[in-house]
Amino acid sequence: MTITIAQSIEQRFGVSPGEGVHDAPERPGEPALVRILERRTHRRYRDEPIDEALVETLLACALSASSKSDLQQASIVRVRSEEKQARIASWLPAMPWIGEAPLFLVFCGDNLRLRRAAALRGKPFPNDNVDMFMNAAVDAALAMQTFTLAAEAAGLGCCPISEVRTHIERLTELLALPAGVFPIAGLCVGWPQRAGYVSMRLPPALAVHEDAYDAAGVEEKIEAYDRRRDARYRIPPDRQREVDRFGAADFYGWSEDKARQYSRPARPGFRDYLRRQGFALE
């Protein structure tokens, strides 16, 4: 069954897009727009390989992502060794999809090449700062998302894995990441076993601002979102986080879940790791 842009927006946000433009029939590029609106993470894959020509095409798509100042600070490590993939999976037993994915990639921010180019051309390199780090991280994220959208267009499903950063030292050693290179996330890729579902997002009214940022009514809009999302798919009681610390909640919505998730520091050693990896972060 073909789904329209209006239907897919409603599915994505749980709110109607309203009358007008979204209902226009046969908008140019409609199938591609609907595919993006309907995109979803896939964590279960059929036991079926991805042919080599397709993998190469998708990697080429990833490297076609836009890049800050054409500095091209993204690299991709394709984990071909089954032993290495199994090792990474063994660090994260709660995510069996890492070991099961027919293709596993690690996307990295990378300014090794810029540093080498500076040395090659005998130029100073005074940009070892937070801005440069962010540019590399953004390039890597754009490459990962471009890969993902291309893979989804080809019928594949993907799941990013930032949890690999919980084991960043081991990963860096396993993949021999040199100074100037840091992983942003892994990516599982495979033929989806199931249809999956569209995860409801915060509404455009909260995340899109016109001319100036508007934080009015954020709390009420978050609460309304919690309720809409809960009505579509409730987080089961056994998935509540930190029950020992915060108790079991009668109503456990998205904001309760995210507040609990971020009530503990996440990867506090990351800056020290980056420094060891050669980033001054000035």
Ligand X SMILES: Cc1cc2nc3c(=O)[nH]c(=O)nc-3n(C[C@H](O)[C@H](O)[C@H](O)COP(=O)(O)O)c2cc1C
C-beta of 143 vs 159, nearer to ligand X: 159
Q: Residue 109 forms beta bridges with which residues?
A: 74, 182
Q: What minimum distance in Å lies between the beta carbon of 126 and ligand X?
A: 30
| Residue 63 DSSP class | T
Among 199, 214, 243, 276, contact with ligand X (rule: CB under 6 A): 199
Binding residues among 225-254 for ligand X as defined by CB under 6 A: none
CB nearer to ligand X: give 64 or 199. Answer: 199
Please tell me whether residue 88 binds ligand X under the rule CB under 6 A. Answer: no
CB 232 within 8 Å of CB 200 = yes
Smallest distance, Å, CB 201 to ligand X? Answer: 7
Query: Which of 120, 108, 112 minimizes the C-alpha distance to 63?
Result: 108
The radius of gyration computed from the CA coordinates of the chain, to the nearest angstrom, equals 21
What is the token pair recorded at 219? 């709390």
Question: Collapsing DSSP states into helix, strand and coil, what is residue 254?
Answer: helix
- Whether the CB-CB separation of 261 and 163 falls below 8 Å is answered with no
Query: With respect to ligand X, which residue has the nearer C-beta, 160 or 180?
Result: 160
Question: Which of 142, 159 has the CB closer to ligand X?
Answer: 159
Considering beta carbons, is residue 27 or 201 the nearer one to ligand X? Answer: 201
x/- mask, ligand X, residues 153-192, rule CB under 6 A, reads ------xxxxx---------------------x-------
Residue 254 or 279: the one with the smaller Cβ distance to ligand X is 254
Q: CB–CB of 133/281 below 8 Å?
A: yes
Among 95, 106, 108, 189, binds ligand X (CB under 6 A): 95
Name which of 5 and 101 has its Cβ closer to ligand X. 101
Find the helix or strand (DSSP H, E) in which 74 lies. strand 74-78
> What is the distance between the alpha carbons of residues 146 and 107, in angstroms, rounded to a whole number?
12
> Least distance (Å) from ligand X to the CB of residue 282?
26
Tell me, by CB under 6 A, how many residues bind ligand X: 11
In contact, 203 and 13? CB cutoff 8 Å = yes
Rounded to whole angstroms, the Cα distance separating 75 from 58 reads 14
By CB under 6 A, the residues from 15 to 34 that bind ligand X are none
Binding mask 40-59 for ligand X (x = CB under 6 A): xx-x----------------
DSSP annotation string for 141-197: HHHHHHHHHHHHHTT-EEEEEGGGGGGHHHHHHHTT--TTEEEEEEEEEE-BSS---
Minimal distance, residue 164 CB to ligand X, in Å: 7
Q: Which residues bind ligand X (CB under 6 A)?
A: 40-41, 43, 95, 159-163, 185, 199
